[in-house]
Amino acid sequence: MSKKTGRCTNTGCVNADKQKKLDSRFGFCPLCGARLTSVCAKCGTALEEGQKLLCPACAEAKQEKQAKTRRAVKAASTGVISAGLIAASVLTGGKEKK
């Protein structure tokens, strides 16, 4: 799981200057002690109140990716099943020829 990410907004702080992603579990910048702004763990966009980990754009992209993965997994398992059926019919065919 990705960590909740925050960013220091204190102008003049090195962390703010570098737009360094900080672990926002603590809620404060370890350097200057300023309150952190929650940012998207992926692209660093400041998050609105109530948003978690990812900004709406990244959350949507992630959901789309997960849906694609699910479809791929489903397709793969269907392929395995049909391959198994072919193998089974080949085996049966061999027995019938006896």
Q: Which residues would be at the binding site for Zn ion (CB under 5 A)?
A: 8, 10, 13, 15, 29, 31-32, 34, 40, 42-43, 45, 55, 58
Pick 21 or 34: Cβ nearer Zn ion: 34
Nearest to 7 by CA among 30, 92, 88: 30
Q: Which is nearer to Zn ion, 17 or 87 (CB)?
A: 17
- Tell me how far CA of residue 10 lies from CA of 21, 30, 94, in angstroms: 13, 12, 76
In the numeric block, the tokens 């793969």 are attached to: 76
User: Measured between alpha carbons, how far is 69 from 83 in angstroms, rounded to an integer?
Assistant: 21
CB of 54 to Zn ion, least distance (A): 5
Cβ nearer to Zn ion, comparing 56 with 79: 56
Give me the least distance between CB of 70 and Zn ion, in Å please: 22
Q: How far is the CB of 46 from Zn ion (least distance, A)?
A: 10
**Spatial distance between the Cα atoms of 48 and 38, rounded to a whole number of angstroms:** 8
